[in-house]
Structure 1
Amino acid sequence: MLSADVQDGSGVTRALEKLFTDHAVSYVHLHNARQGCFPCHARRVQPCLAVPSPCGKS
Structure 2
Amino acid sequence: MIDVSGFKHSRLYQDIKLEGKREVVPQLLSRGFTVEQTAQILGLTVEQVRQGMKETLEGITHP
Q: Quickly name the TM-score band, shorter chain normalised.
A: 0.3 to 0.5
**TM-score, structure 1 length as denominator?**
0.34
**TM-score, structure 2 length as denominator?**
0.32
> Over alpha carbons, which structure has the higher Rg?
1
Q: Which has the higher strand share?
A: 1
Q: Which has the higher helix share?
A: 2
More relative contact order in 1 or in 2 (CA 8 Å, sep 6+)? 2
